[in-house]
A and B are shown apart, each in its own frame.
Chain A
Amino acid sequence: MAFRSAMLSKVVSRSSVSCSRCMSSWWGSVEPAPKDPILGVTEAFLADPSPDKVNVGVGAYRDDNGKPVVLECVREAERRIAGSLNMEYLPMGGSIKMVEETLKLAYGENSDFIKDKRIAAVQSLSGTGACRLFADFQKRFRPDSQIYIPVPTWANHHNIWRDAQVPQRTFHYYHPESRGLDFAGLMDDIKNAPNGSFFLLHACAHNPTGVDPSEEQWREISYQFKVKGHFAFFDMAYQGFASGDPERDAKSIRIFLEDGHHIGIAQSYAKNMGLYGQRVGCLSVLCEDEKQAIAVKSQLQQLARPMYSNPPLHGAVIVSTVLGDPELKNLWLKEVKGMADRIIGMRTALRENLEKLGSPISWEHITNQIGMFCYSGLTPEQVDQLTNEFHIYMTRNGRISMAGVTTGNVGYLANAIHEVTKSA
C-alpha cells in the first residue's frame, strides 16, 4: 500500500532526532501541481514587463481603463456596514436575508416556490462552493448517478465533480465549424442518456464559449428533459451580465420551472455584483414540498459543516444591503447594465476592427456570442504566438475575456489576432 511504503522509507531514513538535516519527508511523493489553466494566465501576465501587455485571461470585469471596478452600490453598502457588524457566526446555511433576496433573482420576485417554501437553499462560497456542495450532495444521496457536463465547460467543473467522486460524462455543446451551438448533437445526447440523468447546464453566458441556446431551443431542451426525466442543475454565474437584464438572463431557468422541473441552481455574485474575492453565492434545490425542502437543507448544512462550518459574513451583508434597499437595488441594476453594455460595445468594436483589417475569416461569432467570453476559434499555437510575440494573455482554448478589452487596446488586440490568423 502506498502509505506503508512511504512510511517504511521514513523509518529507514530517519535515524537522527534533528530532522532538519534529513533529506526525507512524509511528503516525498507530493509532486508539484500543474498551474491552474485559468488563474495561471494572470500570474504569467503579472510577471511580464512589456508595456503593451494585455490580459484577456481571467473573467474579472475591467473598466475602459483596464482597472478593476468596485460598484458604487457596493461601496455605499460597505460604508453603511463598516465597523458596525457584529461578528457572530452565521448559521450553517448562511444569511437568511441574503438567501431570500438571491432566490427572488433566480426564481422570480413573486415566485410561488418561494412562498410555498419549497426551495432548499444555503449561502455558498460563490459559484464554486455551490457547485461543490451540490456535487457532494449528489454523491451522498444519489451515489449511482453521474453528471453530464457540456463540451467545453469551465475547467473547474471537472475538478469539482471529480473531487466529489461523481463520475462524469459529456454532452455535445459547442459547434466549432459554426462557432455556435451544436443543437442537434446536444439533443441527441439528451435523448440517448439514461432516463433520470443529471445534467449541468449554464443558465446564460456559457463559459467559455459565450454560446447560449435561443429561447426556442431552451423550450425544446426542457421538453426533452421532461420526456427523459432528467435533472437539470443550472450554474448561473452571470445573471445580469449577459444581456444587462437579470430577468432576461434567467429565462432558461424560468422555462424549466414553468415546465415543472425540480431543478438545482448555483448562483454567484462574483461578477454581477463585482464581489469576486468575497466569495458570495447560493445553492438552491427545488423540492416537492416544504417538508422535503427542510430535510434537504439540513443535509446541505451537514455537508458544509465539515468543510467550513458556516459561510463568511461580509459579502453576504453587502448583498442583502444592496438588494434589500430599493434605491441601492436600482443603482445595482443600472451598474450591471452598464457593465454588460460596455462588453457588448467591445464585441462590436473588436469585430469591426478585424473586418476593417480585411481578415479572411468570419468574426460574426464575436457579436453572436454573449457574456464575458468570446470563444475566438484560435488554436493553442495561435494563442501561444499571441502571448510570445504580442504579450496578449488568454487561456489556450482561445477564450478571450471581453471584460479585459478596452477602447485603448482593442485596436492592438485586433491587429495581433489578424497577424496570427491571416494566413490560416
Chain B
Amino acid sequence: MASTMLSLASATPSASLSMQESHKEKVKLWSSGLSFNKEKINPFSNTKQSFGRISMVAAVNVSRFEGITMAPPDPILGVSEAFKADNDERKLNLGVGAYRTEELHPYVLNVVKKAENLMLERGENKEYLPIEGLAAFNKVTAELLFGADSPIIQQQRVATVQGLSGTGSLRLAAALIERYLPGAKVLISSPTWGNHKNIFNDARVPWSEYRYYDPKTVGLDFEGMIADIKAAPEGSFVLLHGCAHNPTGIDPTPEQWEKIADVIQEKNHIPFFDVAYQGFASGSLDADAASVRLFAARGLELLVAQSYSKNLGLYAERIGAINVVCSSSDTAARVKSQLKRIARPMYSNPPIHGARIVANVVGDPALFNEWKAEMELMAGRIKNVRQKLYDSLSAKDKSGKDWSFILKQIGMFSFTGLSKAQSDNMTNKWHVYMTKDGRISLAGLSLAKCEYLADAIVDSFHNVS
C-alpha cells in the first residue's frame, strides 16, 4: 500500500529559485492580504544561533492562517455554555441531552462503576484494539440490536465495527457510502439532530430532507414523509431514528413503520438507522429495537449506527458501533475490511475503555440484569416528568390547548412547538435554556421544577408571537 501512495507524489520539486526571485515570492506572500507589522520584522536578528549569515526575511512571522474566522458556536453544546454563565438561581438547563437525576445531577450507572472496578482488579493491559474494535464488544452489540438468535447474526451477514459513539459510527458509514456508492443521496428527517448534516457534509455525501414534523399537530407528518421517500431517486439512503426521535420525540407507530418499510422496499432504498436510545425510550431494549428488527426481518440490507452514550451513560467514553447488514457473509467480510480502511487514517483503532465496560456489563448476567433495571429507572423518571409537566400545563393553561403531545412523545426530548422567539423568551425571561428549535430535554427536568417550567411555557406560548 505504501508503494502505491508514493507513486502519487509528484516528481522532484522545481529547480531552486534565484535569491531575487525568492525575495519577490515573499513580497507577494506578504501583500496578499496578510498582516504586515514592521516591528515584527526580523525577530531572528538578535538570535544567537546565526551561523554568521544574514538573517533573511520575516516570512515566518506571517501567519498561514491569517484569514481564519471564528467558527459559530455549536447550537446544542453552546446552550450548556450559556447556562453555565447565568447566575439566576431559577435557571434550568434543558439543552443537551444528558440524563440527570431528580436532583439534577449527572448519573453514573452503578453497573458502570462495578465494571470499572472489576476491570481494575483484573489489571487488564492497554494494548491497541484491532482497527475494528473489541471483538467481545462487537459481538454483544450486534446481538443486543438484532437479537442473539437473529438469522442475520447466525449467517454472519452483519459487518460490525466499533465506532466513536453514534457520531463516529455515522461518519464511518457516510465515508463508506461516499466511497462505494458515490452520488447516492441520504434522506434525513426534517428536523433531525443538528450534527447529521455536518457529518454528511464533511463526508461529502449529498443529502435532502423528508417531511417529518407537523407543527399543526405537533406530531408526525406521515403522509408527507411517505410522499418524500417515494419521490426520492431509487437507491437513496433513508436515515431513520430507531426510537425516540431527536429532536421531536415523535416516533412512528408499528403500523406506520410497516408502511415506511413497504415504500422503502418499493423504491429500492436503503434503510439507515441511527439508534442512540435503545432501552432509553421505553425502558425495554427489545421493544426499542423493534423498528430495526422489522426491517431486518424483511431481508433488507441496511445500516445501523449505535451509541451507548445515553443508555449506559457512557457519554464521555465514545462507544458505539456501525453495523452493515449485507446479503451474504462474504459481502459482510469485504465491507468490514473497507470500514477498517476508512477508520485507520482517522484514528487507527478505537478507544478501549468504553468498549470493555459494555462488554463486561452485557456479558455478565447479573450486571446485565442490573443494567436493565437502571435503564428502566431512567426511562421511568422521564415518563413521570412528562406526566407531571402535562398535568401542570393542563392545570395552568386555560386556553384549552391540547398538551397531550407531551405524553405521546417518547425519549429524552420534547418538541414543544415553541417558535424561536418564544424559545428566546424562555431563556431571557425565565432562564430556561433550550435549543432554538423549541426542543427541551426532559432528562434535565425534575418533578420539582415542572410547575415553574409550565408557567414559562404557557407565558411564552401565549404572550410572545
Please list the residues of chain A having a beta carbon within 8 angstroms of any beta carbon in chain B: 1-4, 6-7, 10-11, 14, 17-34, 36-37, 39, 43, 58, 60, 68-70, 74-75, 78-79, 82-83, 85-92, 125-126, 128-129, 132, 141-142, 149, 151-152, 155-156, 158-160, 162-164, 167-170, 189, 191-196, 219, 223, 225-229, 231, 255, 258-262, 270, 274-279, 285, 287-288, 292, 294-296, 298-299, 301-303, 305-315, 397
CB distance from A63 to the nearest CB of B (A): 11
Whether A275 contacts B120 by the Cβ 8 Å rule is no
Top 10 A-B pairs, shortest CB-CB distance:
A158-B5, A229-B59, A313-B316, A308-B164, A125-B347, A159-B345, A3-B183, A277-B352, A7-B235, A306-B198
- Which of B25, B77, B326, B347 is within 8 Å of A132, CB to CB? B347
CB distance from B435 to the nearest CB of A (A): 15
Q: What are some 17 contacts across the A-B interface (CB < 8 A)?
A: A19-B300, A22-B327, A25-B327, A30-B335, A78-B120, A83-B113, A88-B316, A90-B316, A91-B77, A132-B345, A141-B68, A189-B13, A223-B53, A226-B56, A228-B22, A306-B195, A309-B318
- Which of A29, A79, A126, A292 is within 8 Å of B63, CB to CB? A292
Q: How far is the CA of A231 from the CA of B64 in the complex (A)?
A: 8
Whether B346 contacts A129 by the Cβ 8 Å rule is yes
Per the 8 Å Cβ criterion, residues 43-69 of B in contact with A are: 43-44, 47, 49, 51, 53, 55-57, 59-69
With a cutoff of 8 Å between Cβ atoms, the chain B residues found around residue A305 in the complex are 74, 167, 195, 198
Whether A70 contacts B182 by the Cβ 8 Å rule is no
**Interface residue range, chain B:** 35 or more
With a cutoff of 8 Å between Cβ atoms, the chain A residues found around residue B180 in the complex are 6, 27, 29-30
Q: How far is the CA of A292 from the CA of B70 in the complex (A)?
A: 9
CB distance from B128 to the nearest CB of A (A): 5
Whether A10 contacts B167 by the Cβ 8 Å rule is no
CB distance from B220 to the nearest CB of A (A): 25
Closest A residue, CB atoms, query B317 = A312
Whether A307 contacts B346 by the Cβ 8 Å rule is yes
With a cutoff of 8 Å between Cβ atoms, the chain A residues found around residue B8 in the complex are 158, 162, 167-168
Whether A306 contacts B331 by the Cβ 8 Å rule is no
Whether A32 contacts B337 by the Cβ 8 Å rule is yes
Whether A30 contacts B331 by the Cβ 8 Å rule is yes
Whether B345 contacts A128 by the Cβ 8 Å rule is yes
The verdict on B408 contacting chain A, using a C-beta distance below 8 Å, is no
Q: How far is the CA of A287 from the CA of B35 in the complex (A)?
A: 13
* Contacts A1-B183, A192-B16, A306-B198 given; does A128 touch B346 at CB 8 Å: yes
With a cutoff of 8 Å between Cβ atoms, the chain A residues found around residue B9 in the complex are 149, 168-170
The verdict on B286 contacting chain A, using a C-beta distance below 8 Å, is no
Whether A28 contacts B331 by the Cβ 8 Å rule is yes
- Which of B1, B69, B171, B324 is within 8 Å of A155, CB to CB? B1
Whether A129 contacts B64 by the Cβ 8 Å rule is no
With a cutoff of 8 Å between Cβ atoms, the chain B residues found around residue A14 in the complex are 268
Q: How many A-B residue pairs have CB under 8 A?
A: 356
Closest B residue, CB atoms, query A71 = B126
* Contacts A3-B181, A6-B181 given; does A277 touch B68 at CB 8 Å: no
Query: Told that A225-B60, A229-B62 touch, could you supply 9 new A-B pairs with CB distance under 8 A?
Result: A156-B345, A164-B345, A189-B13, A195-B26, A226-B57, A226-B60, A229-B60, A260-B44, A305-B74
- Which of A43, A194, A279 is within 8 Å of B349, CB to CB? A279
Please list the residues of chain B having a beta carbon within 8 angstroms of any beta carbon in chain A: 1-2, 5-6, 8-10, 12-17, 22, 25-26, 29, 35, 43-44, 47, 49, 51, 53, 55-57, 59-71, 74, 77, 96, 98, 106, 108, 112-114, 116-117, 119-120, 123, 125-131, 151, 155, 157, 164-165, 167-168, 171, 180-184, 195, 198-199, 201-203, 234-235, 265, 268, 270, 298-301, 309, 313-318, 324, 326-328, 331, 333-335, 337-338, 340-342, 344-354
With a cutoff of 8 Å between Cβ atoms, the chain A residues found around residue B347 in the complex are 125-126, 128-129, 132, 279, 308
Q: How far is the CA of A33 from the CA of B316 in the complex (A)?
A: 31
Q: How far is the CA of A403 from the CA of B217 in the complex (A)?
A: 65
With a cutoff of 8 Å between Cβ atoms, the chain B residues found around residue A227 in the complex are 22, 56-57
With a cutoff of 8 Å between Cβ atoms, the chain B residues found around residue A20 in the complex are 151, 155, 157, 299, 327
Whether A312 contacts B353 by the Cβ 8 Å rule is yes
Q: How far is the CA of A87 from the CA of B26 in the complex (A)?
A: 50
Whether B348 contacts A126 by the Cβ 8 Å rule is yes
* Contacts A23-B328, A155-B1, A277-B128 given; does A259 touch B317 at CB 8 Å: no
- Which of B16, B67, B127 is within 8 Å of A277, CB to CB? B127
Whether B51 contacts A223 by the Cβ 8 Å rule is yes
- Which of B268, B346, B352 is within 8 Å of A10, CB to CB? B268
Q: How far is the CA of A294 from the CA of B301 in the complex (A)?
A: 44
CB distance from B187 to the nearest CB of A (A): 15
- Which of A60, A78, A89, A163 is within 8 Å of B315, CB to CB? A89
CB distance from A383 to the nearest CB of B (A): 14
Q: How far is the CA of A42 from the CA of B127 in the complex (A)?
A: 12
Whether A262 contacts B64 by the Cβ 8 Å rule is yes
Whether B60 contacts A33 by the Cβ 8 Å rule is no
Whether A277 contacts B234 by the Cβ 8 Å rule is no
Q: How far is the CA of A142 from the CA of B34 in the complex (A)?
A: 14
* Contacts A151-B6, A279-B351 given; does A193 touch B60 at CB 8 Å: no
Whether A299 contacts B68 by the Cβ 8 Å rule is yes
Q: How far is the CA of A259 from the CA of B61 in the complex (A)?
A: 10
CB distance from B379 to the nearest CB of A (A): 18
CB distance from A32 to the nearest CB of B (A): 5
CB distance from B259 to the nearest CB of A (A): 15
Closest A residue, CB atoms, query B129 = A277
- Which of B15, B35, B61, B337 is within 8 Å of A192, CB to CB? B15
CB distance from B37 to the nearest CB of A (A): 9
Q: How far is the CA of A308 from the CA of B167 in the complex (A)?
A: 5
Whether B301 contacts A19 by the Cβ 8 Å rule is yes
Whether B167 contacts A33 by the Cβ 8 Å rule is no
